[in-house]
Amino acid sequence: MPQNSLIQQTVCYHCGENCNAADIHIEEKEFCCQGCKMVYEIVNQSGLCEYYDIDKNPGINQKIHVRKGKHAFLDNEEICNKLIHFSDGTQKHVTFYLPQMHCSSCIWLLEQLNKLNKGVMHSTVNFLKKDVTVIYNSDLISLRQVAELLTSLGYEPHINLHDLDSSKIKKYDRSRIYKIGIAGFCFGNIMLLSFPEYFSSGDIQETQLKSFFSILNIALSLPVFFYCSSEFFMSAYAGLRKKFLNIDAPIALAIFLAFIRSLYEIGTHTGAGYLDSMSGIVFFMLVGRFFQDKTYQSLTFDRDYTSYFPISVILLKADGTEDQIPASSIKKGDRIRIHSHEIIPADGILFLGKGNIDYSFVSGESMPVEKGIGEIIYAGGKQIGGAIELEVVKEVAQSYLTQLWNDDVFTKKKNEKKVSFVHQVSRYFTYVLFLIAFLSAVHWSVVDPSKTWNAVTAILIVACPCALLLSATFTNGNMLAKLHGFDFFVKNAGVLESISEADTLVFDKTGTLSISGEERIHFVGPPPDPHQQQLIRSLAIQSIHPLSKAIAGSLPIHRPLLVKHYVEEKGKGSTALVNGEKIKMGSAEYVTGEKKIKAGEGSNVFVSINDDVLGFFVVKAGYRPGLETLVAELKQNYNLSVISGDNDSELQHLKHLFGEETEILFQQHPQDKLEYIKALQTRGHKVIMLGDGLNDAGALQQSNVGIAITDEVNNFSPGCDAILDGKQFAKLKKLLDYCGKEKNIIYGSFIISILYNIVGLSFAVQGTLSPVIAAILMPLSSITIVVYTTLISSFFANRIKT
Alpha-carbon gap, residue 346 to 702, rounded angstroms: 25
The predicted pLDDT at position 733 comes to 93
The predicted pLDDT at position 502 comes to 92
The predicted pLDDT at position 317 comes to 85
The predicted pLDDT at position 220 comes to 94
The predicted pLDDT at position 329 comes to 79
Highest mean pLDDT among 187-196, 289-298, 455-464, 502-511: 502-511
Alpha-carbon gap, residue 423 to 472, rounded angstroms: 10
The predicted pLDDT at position 548 comes to 83
Residue 718 has pLDDT above 60, yes or no: no
DSSP string, 367-381: S-EEE-TT-EE-TT-
Residues recorded for the chain:
802
Alpha-carbon gap, residue 490 to 707, rounded angstroms: 9
Confidence of residue 179 (pLDDT cuts 50, 70, 90): very high
Q: Name the class of domain 310-344+346-398.
A: mainly beta
Tell me the CA distances in angstroms from 531 to 88, 117, 233, 573, 739, one per residue in order: 65, 50, 80, 21, 56
The predicted pLDDT at position 20 comes to 61
Highest mean pLDDT among 43-47, 83-87, 129-133, 501-505: 501-505
Confidence of residue 464 (pLDDT cuts 50, 70, 90): low
462, 764 Cβ separation under 8 angstroms? yes
Which of 709, 745, 751 is closest to 730 using CA atoms?
709
Residue 21 has pLDDT above 90, yes or no: no
Tell me what the mean pLDDT of segment 670-690 comes to. 90
For residues 223 and 27, the model is more confident at: 223
Mean pLDDT is lowest, of 282-296, 370-384, 444-458, 742-756, for 282-296
The predicted pLDDT at position 235 comes to 86
All structural domains of the chain with their residue ranges: 1-63, 72-165, 175-293+417-475+741-801, 310-344+346-398, 483-514+624-740, 515-623
Given the candidates 1.10.10.2120, 3.90.1150.10, 3.10.450.50, 3.30.70.100, the CATH classification of the domain at 72-165 is 3.30.70.100
Q: Which tens digit of pLDDT belongs to each residue from 130-144?
A: 788 899 998 899 998
Residue 4 has pLDDT above 50, yes or no: no
Tell me the CA distances in angstroms from 362 to 287, 336, 344, 691, 723, one per residue in order: 42, 21, 11, 12, 19
The predicted pLDDT at position 453 comes to 77
The CATH homologous superfamily of the domain defined by 483-514+624-740 = HAD superfamily/HAD-like (3.40.50.1000)
Confidence of residue 7 (pLDDT cuts 50, 70, 90): very low
Highest mean pLDDT among 165-169, 336-340, 361-365, 729-733: 729-733
Q: Which tens digit of pLDDT belongs to each residue from 25-41?
A: 787 788 877 677 778 88
Tell me what the mean pLDDT of segment 310-321 comes to. 80
The domain made up of 515-623 is a member of CATH 3.30.1280.10: no
Residue 436 has pLDDT above 70, yes or no: yes
366, 510 Cβ separation under 8 angstroms? yes
Confidence of residue 2 (pLDDT cuts 50, 70, 90): very low
Residue 323 has pLDDT above 50, yes or no: yes
690, 673 Cβ separation under 8 angstroms? no
Q: Which tens digit of pLDDT belongs to each residue from 151-172?
A: 888 888 877 666 555 544 455 5
Q: Which tens digit of pLDDT belongs to each residue from 773-787?
A: 766 777 777 788 888
What average pLDDT does the chain have?
Answer: 79
Q: Which tens digit of pLDDT belongs to each residue from 684-708?
A: 999 999 987 666 777 888 899 989 8
The predicted pLDDT at position 201 comes to 57
Q: Which tens digit of pLDDT belongs to each residue from 598-645?
A: 555 677 889 999 989 998 998 887 888 889 899 999 999 999 999 987
* Strand pairing category for 687-691 and 504-507: parallel
The predicted pLDDT at position 8 comes to 47
Mean pLDDT is lowest, of 92-106, 207-221, 758-772, for 758-772
Does this model's pTM top 0.75? My answer is no
| Contacts with 591 (C-beta within 8 Å, 6 or more apart), sequence order | 573, 584, 585, 606, 607, 608, 613
Alpha-carbon gap, residue 551 to 333, rounded angstroms: 41
Task: State the first-to-last Cα distance of the chain, in angstroms, to the nearest integer.
Answer: 49
Residue 53 buriedness (CB in 10 A; 0-12 / 13-18 / 19+)? exposed
Residue 111 has pLDDT above 60, yes or no: yes
The predicted pLDDT at position 224 comes to 94
